[in-house]
Each structure stands twice: as C-alpha cells, then as structure tokens.
C-alpha cells in the first residue's frame, strides 16, 4: 500500500477563494501591513492573528479551508486549471 501514489482532490471553489483573498489582501494593505507576508504567516502557522480584523478580513480568511487556499495559490502560480 505504501508504494502507491495517493490522489488528493479538493472541491473547486477557486473564484470564491480568489475574491475572499482579495478582500483580505486589500484590508491588510489599508492597515499598512505587507499583505503577502501576513498571508504567508497565516498559511504557515494557521494563526489568525496574522490577519487584521479590519473589513472582517480575519473571519473571511478563516472560512477558507487551508488546503483549498493552497491549491488555488499553486494553480494560480503555475497558471493551470
């Protein structure tokens, strides 16, 4: 069983995740933070305090499953569907 590749699949909600991430990014930028650094800190640690409460950004990002978020980011970076 350990010699077989496991398939990992997530629900595709890419547009909703992108819209939510844009809101979070904008809120962090408005508050004077480096949005990329803060979002990476959140993804790596799962600590919501990396995200501001401004414009409800913290609650918005916490509603996104971290695996779905990472999948969307990787797809976007690699420009694949």
Cβ contact 75:14 at 8 Å: yes
Q: For residue 74, what are the domain limits?
A: 14-78
Could you tell me if residue 5 is inside a domain?
no
Whether residue 42 lies inside any domain: the answer is yes
Q: Does residue 71 sit within a domain?
A: yes
Cβ atoms of residues 62 and 48 within 8 Å = yes
Structural domain total, the chain: 1
Q: Is residue 4 situated within a structural domain?
A: no
**C-alpha 56 chain-centroid distance:** 15
What confidence category does residue 7 fall into, taking pLDDT thresholds of 50, 70 and 90?
low
The pLDDT tens digits of the residues spanning 21-44 come to 999 999 999 999 999 999 999 999
Domain presence at residue 35: yes
The confidence band for 8, taking pLDDT boundaries of 50, 70 and 90, is: low
30 is a domain residue: yes
14-23 average pLDDT score: 93
Q: 2 in a domain, yes or no? A: no
Which burial class, exposed, middle or buried, applies to 39 when counting CB atoms under 10 A from its CB (0-12, 13-18, 19+)?
buried
């699949």: which residue's tokens?
Answer: 9
Task: Report, as an integer, the average pLDDT of 2-23.
Answer: 77
């Amino acid at each position: 069983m350990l010699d077989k590749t496991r398939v990992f699949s997530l629900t595709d909600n890419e547009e909703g995740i992108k819209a939510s991430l844009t809101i979070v990014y904008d809120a962090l930028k408005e508050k004077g933070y480096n949005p990329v650094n803060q979002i990476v800190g959140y993804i790596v640690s799962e600590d919501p305090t990396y995200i501001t409460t401004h414009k409800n950004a913290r609650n918005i990002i916490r509603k996104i499953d971290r695996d779905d978020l990472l999948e969307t980011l990787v797809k976007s970076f690699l420009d694949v569907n």
